[in-house]
């Protein structure tokens, strides 16, 4: 049966039953050894698919993104573990390949939610974090088109959406940091300019989990020459690099919107200059979009 043809209400019932079973069996389930934490619209789905195809990697059972450490933390760790494979599935992989199996998920909002990094450090103290970055100007434009297409953004003009961002995000990060129960739709869906300030988010993550546990991937490099970039990720995660390589495909891409207004492009490029310079310290070289 093709699950894409299953009615949405039926899917919800199936997922609810699966989560209930997962919570009951949580002690017998694996916990993630790594997470893809972002950034949004930077190729996270493509890297997720490539890693999920690795022979000793098991993905989350229901969704690629569980969103536990950002919007669902109230459910508790048993709820979270219920999303992952049973340990016996990992044991079978270890028996076959001679190396421990790993499981993971991909929730791009983890990079940006003010409480996510501290929660990850507390609940997954050994987990490694993979972060993708992309030309922040193109990323912002892509996110806006994505939010419009999903019905999460009513302002269809990118320039107007940028102009609204400051008001929409006013004190939202502060409230999220102070109140574990607070949720901000605007912070999750309308932070177009802010999301591309990668270095400041990476700095916060490093304060909590340690810089050595964070690996940054430029999506431009990954899409241009995926195999060596993929091998670098595997080495960081301690996964074998000599097993079959997956087909590298681009997923979750949307048709390119009309060309960006040149004035907006110039303004955003100038805005991101110091942020890109700070990111270069993470990459060991200037970002690809600054040298193209």
pLDDT of 245 above 70 = yes
pLDDT of 86 above 90 = yes
**What strands lie across the sheet with 34-38, from one edge to the other?**
57-59, 102-106, 34-38, 128-133, 214-218
pLDDT tens sequence across 147-162 = 999 999 999 999 999 9
pLDDT band at residue 3 using 50, 70 and 90 as cut-offs: very low
C-beta neighbour count of 258 within 10 angstroms:
8
User: CB-based burial of residue 179 (10 Å sphere; 0-12 exposed, 13-18 middle, 19+ buried)?
Assistant: exposed
pLDDT value for 4: 43
CA 170 to chain centre: 24
The tally of domains found in the chain comes to 1
pLDDT value for 20: 57
Is residue 254 situated within a structural domain? no
Is residue 159 situated within a structural domain? yes
Enclosing domain of residue 276: 30-242+262-291
Region 205-228: what's the mean pLDDT? 96
The residue with greater pLDDT, 26 or 104, is 104
pLDDT band at residue 247 using 50, 70 and 90 as cut-offs: confident
pLDDT value for 19: 54
The residue with greater pLDDT, 192 or 3, is 192
Is residue 179 situated within a structural domain? yes
Is residue 11 situated within a structural domain? no
pLDDT band at residue 15 using 50, 70 and 90 as cut-offs: very low
Is residue 1 situated within a structural domain? no
pLDDT value for 25: 83
pLDDT of 259 above 80 = yes
Region 194-200: what's the mean pLDDT? 97
The CATH number of the domain holding residue 119 is 3.40.50.300
pLDDT band at residue 12 using 50, 70 and 90 as cut-offs: very low
Is residue 25 situated within a structural domain? no
pLDDT of 2 above 50 = no
Is residue 102 situated within a structural domain? yes
Region 107-134: what's the mean pLDDT? 97
Is residue 225 situated within a structural domain? yes
Whole-number average pLDDT of the chain? 90
pTM (2 d.p.): 0.89
pLDDT band at residue 73 using 50, 70 and 90 as cut-offs: very high
């Amino acid at each position: 049966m093709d699950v894409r043809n299953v009615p949405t209400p039926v899917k919800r019932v199936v997922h609810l039953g699966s989560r209930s079973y997962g919570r009951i069996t949580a002690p017998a389930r694996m916990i993630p050894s790594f997470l893809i934490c972002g950034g949004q619209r930077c190729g996270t789905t493509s890297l997720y698919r490539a890693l999920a195809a690795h022979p000793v990697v098991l993905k989350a059972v229901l969704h690629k993104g569980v969103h536990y450490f950002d919007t669902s933390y109230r459910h508790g760790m048993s709820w979270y573990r219920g999303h992952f494979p049973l340990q016996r599935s990992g044991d079978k992989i270890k028996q076959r390949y001679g190396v421990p199996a790993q499981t993971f998920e991909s929730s791009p909002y983890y990079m940006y939610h003010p409480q996510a990094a501290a929660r990850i450090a507390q609940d997954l103290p050994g987990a490694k974090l993979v972060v993708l970055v992309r030309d922040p100007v193109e990323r912002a434009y892509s996110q806006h088109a994505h939010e419009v297409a999903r019905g999460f953004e009513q302002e269809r003009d990118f320039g107007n959406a940028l102009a609204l961002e400051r008001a929409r995000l006013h004190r939202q990060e502060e409230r999220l940091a102070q109140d574990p129960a607070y949720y901000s739709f605007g912070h999750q869906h309308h932070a177009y300019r802010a999301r591309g300030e990668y270095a400041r988010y990476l700095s916060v993550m490093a304060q909590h989990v340690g810089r050595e546990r964070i690996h940054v991937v430029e999506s431009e490099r990954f899409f241009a020459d995926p195999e060596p970039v993929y091998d670098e990720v595997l080495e960081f995660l301690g996964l074998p690099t000599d097993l079959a390589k997956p087909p590298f495909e681009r997923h979750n891409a949307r048709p390119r919107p009309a060309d960006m207004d040149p004035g907006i492009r110039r303004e955003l490029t100038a805005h991101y200059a110091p942020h890109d310079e700070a990111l270069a310290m993470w990459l060991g070289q200037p970002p690809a979009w600054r040298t193209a």
